[in-house]
């Protein structure tokens, strides 16, 4: 986890679960995380490897230029990453292991941003593991957010957080780097966008190490 927003939500989730595998949805008080709410979303399990947004914060919706409620979770990705994103989200929602995703986002105009997504399991009214709370944070937010919507995401790395290990951030499972075979779709979509922008393309964004 590299973004302060991810750390803050993770600490809150850990406190609310109070030793359980996951907290209940009713344990999450919006007022407690008011500063994070624009970046927070909740998804419900709608199939074996399928999640849909129950709600999404304004900052997340602004990235796509539309309301995301009822949108499939995996639809946020570029085509080559949809299946893996669906599996990852469902694994978190139905299990007890949080995940952190490193992401590249491609805009409709061919621009790129770098982001981190935290996925945390929560339980519904029946006590079953059937949903998750997540947060998406942008590194060095570019000026064009809200004006040039995202075409989709590409996952560049996944880290699953093992709750049985201490200390948490030193003893955890390493990030699994993805060679963007999703990257094939990412580069293809990127090239397609490049051809639409006359003879010049400006790529904004950057990674904070």
CB atoms within 10 A of CB 22: 24
User: Is pLDDT of 196 > 50?
Assistant: no
Model pLDDT for residues 141-154, shown as the tens digit of each residue? 999 999 999 999 99
Structure tokens that stand for 66 in this block = 């539309």
CB atoms within 10 A of CB 7: 14
Structure confidence at residue 4 as a pLDDT band (50, 70, 90): very high
What is the edge-to-edge ordering of all strands in the sheet holding 176-177?
Answer: 50-56, 40-47, 129-139, 112-123, 99-107, 150-160, 176-177
24 burial type by CB count under 10 A (0-12 exposed, 13-18 middle, 19+ buried) = middle
Question: Would you state the pLDDT for residue 35?
Answer: 97
Provide the strand spans (E) within the chain: 40-47, 50-56, 99-107, 112-123, 129-139, 150-160, 176-177
Q: What percent of the chain has pLDDT over 70?
A: 78
Model pLDDT for residues 49-73, shown as the tens digit of each residue? 899 999 999 999 999 999 999 999 9
Question: Would you state the pLDDT for residue 127?
Answer: 87
The CATH homologous superfamily to which domain 4-195 belongs is PAS domain (3.30.450.20)
Q: What percent of the chain has pLDDT over 90?
A: 69
User: Is pLDDT of 173 > 60?
Assistant: no
Structure confidence at residue 176 as a pLDDT band (50, 70, 90): low
Structure tokens that stand for 128 in this block = 């079953």
Question: Would you state the pLDDT for residue 190?
Answer: 52
> For residues 147, 8, 40 and 124, what is the CA-based torsion angle, rounded to 10 degrees?
170
> For residues 9, 22, 87 and 69, what is the CA-based torsion angle, rounded to 10 degrees?
-60
Contact 33, 12 (CB under 8 A): yes
């Amino acid at each position: 986890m590299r973004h302060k927003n991810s750390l803050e939500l993770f600490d809150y989730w850990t406190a609310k679960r109070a030793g359980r595998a996951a907290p209940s949805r009713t344990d999450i008080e919006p007022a407690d995380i008011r500063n994070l709410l624009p970046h927070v979303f909740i998804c419900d399990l709608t199939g074996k490897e399928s999640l849909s947004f129950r709600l999404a914060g304004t900052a997340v919706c602004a990235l796509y230029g539309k309301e995301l409620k009822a949108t499939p979770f995996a639809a946020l990705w570029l085509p080559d990453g949809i299946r893996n994103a669906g599996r990852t989200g469902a694994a978190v929602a139905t299990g007890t292991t949080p995940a952190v995703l490193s992401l590249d986002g491609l805009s409709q105009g061919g621009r790129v941003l770098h982001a981190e997504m935290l996925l945390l399991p929560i339980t519904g009214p029946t006590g079953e593991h059937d949903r998750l709370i997540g947060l998406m944070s942008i590194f060095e937010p570019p000026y064009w957010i809200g004006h040039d919507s995202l075409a989709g995401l590409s996952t560049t790395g996944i880290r699953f957080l093992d709750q049985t290990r201490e200390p948490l951030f030193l003893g955890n499972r390493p990030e699994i780097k993805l060679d963007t075979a999703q990257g094939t779709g990412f580069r293809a979509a990127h090239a397609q966008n490049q051809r639409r922008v006359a003879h010049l393309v400006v790529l904004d964004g950057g990674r904070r190490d």
